[in-house]
Amino acid sequence: METVEALFGSNVFNDAVMQQHLPKDIYRALRKTIDDGRRLDPTIAGAVAHAMKEWAIGKGVTHYTHWFQPLSGITAEKHDAFITPVAGGRVIESFSGSELVRGEPDASSFPSGGLRSTFEARGYTAWDPTSYAFIKDGVLCIPTAFCSYGGEALDKKTPLLRSMEALSRQAVRVLKLFGNDARRVLPSVGPEQEYFLVDKQTWTQRKDLVFTGRTLFGAKPPKGQELDDHYFGVIKPRVQAFMSELNRELWKLGILAKTEHNEAAPAQHEMAPIYTVANVATDHNQLTMEIMKKVADRHGLVCLLAEKPFDGVNGSGKHNNWSMTTDTGTNLLEPGDSPYDSAQFLLFLVAVIKAVDEHQDLLRVSVAGAGNDHRLGANEAPPAIISMFLGDELTAILQAIDQGTAYIGHEKEEMAIGVHVLPKFPRDNTDRNRTSPFAFTGNKFEFRSVGSSASIADANVVINTGVADALMRFADELEQAEDFQASLHDLIVREIRAHKRIIFNGNGYSTEWVREAKKRGLKNLPTTVDAIPSLIDPENIELFSRHRVLSGTELHARYEILLENYCKVIAIEAETMLSMARREILPAVLRSAGDLAASAKAVKDYAPVFSTLPHEKLLARLTLGASRLSDGIETLSNAVISVPRAADALTRAIHMRDRVLTAMAEVRAAADELETIVDKRDWPFPTYAELLFGV
């Protein structure tokens, strides 16, 4: 078998391949484009395209595609063969510079939130040279951004790239004040991906899993995750075979798959890559999700990426590890070991604290979705209230700065900014609290609210832009300072005081926290519908416009799309539920009741002296349950029929949440109760026990 070193990146047109395949001057020009994050010089595009095609053809590739990330949150591709007809009825294989740089998919069916009407459907895609081209399933994929002809972003990548620019611009200004002449600052991201694996045969028998990706019914099995015996447990051979193949597929694409383990819930697992630049990490995470599904299929498994596929056990998320790194490789959230480094660290730290406090609503909306609503705040995932965990030590340091007192650590230390060195923060002091949505873990932050199926782009757009805005304000102020040291000190103290309410090191799952957060004036946006309107809040439109990340029009489009998507997801779930309840569960229950009645009659016929009390008791429960289920079906059906179809998206979304989801909960409760008393042989589809413990 090929070594990992030989395998790694073998399907990527990466730096080494470029160097090998491109003329020296072209390589240098392309390298500069990538390093400076600029647009490609059109005069070199032809040579790059030619080299790319030659390399790809050498690997048996026949087609290319612009690979992009429309607002549906998944990836899109349309394959074109390299062939061009020539005289004599023959073809040659060609790929031009303009085909590399720009594509025009007929993209009328992608959601645009009104940015583009279907009659002017043609958006265009533009190469993002900072993310390497790669070969997937025999097709050369060019990572691109997707825009309308008016220049509006129709995808998740464009605002991400813009937010990275904004962050870099402001961070470089701040660094200059510390005498650091870094030219660029890039957000680094390492997304830990959680997922479930279930047996494909079993999966096929559940319409809810097939159509919605999550179970809409299912009574709790006798055993769930209460023994904590799955987390980090021995990996079963079938799962291990899946993981090994997954790793190899990811390595071929240059994805730094590093860690694999079992997660808390039965059948739940995690893969964590080594971090990389935010836009590449986003591309890689999209690819990871796609490949997880494909590889699972080859092993007779199905990979579930839904946020809450099963009630009663943990859901899946994506821990978005985030930091800022200079072009010279310095992590700006590394406390450092000189007084100067410490002061600079504190300023960047405070910028993140300010950003999270000021943009709680945007962080919440960046992880919003019908699926994640079942997970956030469900006593296992971060609550819908955004707060930050800094660990005792760092919190004590900020407190000492705030109060102008000495910091009492292991030894008594004074903390004068710019004079003293911060102590090192041992990982185990900072990584204990798993209940916090936004935790400092030694030299990076971990945003844990992101849903497992989501693109990480949205969350990183908000973090980058929020931090860029805080840094901009700091730079505006400090660039004017006469005494930098004194102004820096005042600024840090002031900002800590203004934003310390967002810091919470306690148990984020507790009900006391909900009360305490309210007292502190923190936002609590429990559902997606509560969160989405913050996208078009005038202050937020200003924020995104100020940094040229998203315009008001683009934000309105995203607002519409999110609401529409929420309505559609719940409508599909409701229809699936109705079909299963009406055509599978209720008939099974009635049949079971009929058999029971017949059996009781048979007993009595045989000899009236025998008791049919057990029959009668069970029959009473079955028929009562059946009528509860039948009422539930009717209520749900009415809720679906009465969707105000002509109303605006927000009104419809509120109806979905308040009427449809509530009715769905009742149907489920009735059915799950019945599942526990109906004859096992009569139950129409596999249960949780088979799904969760069947692999």
CB 293 within 8 A of CB 326: no
Q: Is 407 helix (H, G, I), strand (E, B) or coil?
A: strand
Binds ligand ADP (CB under 6 A): choice among 67, 242, 322, 348: 322
- Nearby residues of 446 by Cβ (< 8 Å), 6 or more positions away: 319, 320, 321, 322, 438, 439, 440
Tell me the window of 70-78, 113-121, 187-195, 209-217 that interacts with ligand ADP (CB under 6 A). 187-195
Q: Which structure tokens are listed for 369?
A: 């979705």
Tell me the window of 89-97, 347-355, 405-413, 439-447 that interacts with ligand ADP (CB under 6 A). 439-447
Count, residues near ligand ADP per rule CB under 6 A:
15
**Of 333 and 543, which CB lies nearer to ligand ADP in the complex structure?**
333
**Of 226 and 428, which CB lies nearer to ligand ADP in the complex structure?**
428
Cα–Cα distance list, 616 to 14, 596, 681 (Å): 72, 9, 20
Tell me the window of 107-115, 189-197, 233-241, 588-596 that interacts with ligand ADP (CB under 6 A). 189-197
How near is the Cβ of 304 to ligand ADP at its closest, in Å?
21
How near is the Cβ of 439 to ligand ADP at its closest, in Å?
9
Binds ligand ADP (CB under 6 A): choice among 182, 272, 370, 549: 272
Cα–Cα distance list, 267 to 21, 300, 316, 635, 687 (Å): 45, 14, 11, 34, 14
Which amino acid is located at 570 in the chain?
Answer: I
Q: Strand pairing partners for 100? A: none
> How many residues are recorded in the chain?
695
Binds ligand ADP (CB under 6 A): choice among 321, 360, 435, 534: 321
Q: Does 444 bind ligand ADP (CB under 6 A)?
A: yes
How near is the Cβ of 158 to ligand ADP at its closest, in Å?
22
**Of 427 and 546, which CB lies nearer to ligand ADP in the complex structure?**
427
How many Å apart are CA 520 and CA 514, to the nearest integer? 10
**Of 444 and 500, which CB lies nearer to ligand ADP in the complex structure?**
444
How near is the Cβ of 259 to ligand ADP at its closest, in Å?
7
Q: Does 323 bind ligand ADP (CB under 6 A)?
A: yes
Q: Does 188 bind ligand ADP (CB under 6 A)?
A: yes
Q: Does 441 bind ligand ADP (CB under 6 A)?
A: yes
How many Å apart are CA 553 and CA 103, to the nearest integer? 24
Binds ligand ADP (CB under 6 A): choice among 82, 251, 275, 566: 275
CB 524 within 8 A of CB 518: yes
Residues 192-211 that bind ligand ADP (CB under 6 A): 192
Q: Does 284 bind ligand ADP (CB under 6 A)?
A: no
How near is the Cβ of 224 to ligand ADP at its closest, in Å?
23
Cα angle 516, 521, 522 (rounded to 5 degrees) comes to 80
Cα–Cα distance list, 342 to 41, 178, 420, 442, 487 (Å): 40, 11, 7, 14, 16
Q: Does 123 bind ligand ADP (CB under 6 A)?
A: no
Q: Does 288 bind ligand ADP (CB under 6 A)?
A: no
Q: Which structure tokens are listed for 689?
A: 């026990």
First to last CA, the chain: 27
Using CB under 6 A as the criterion, which residues of the chain lie in contact with ligand ADP when the complex forms? 188-190, 192, 272-275, 321-323, 331, 441, 443-444
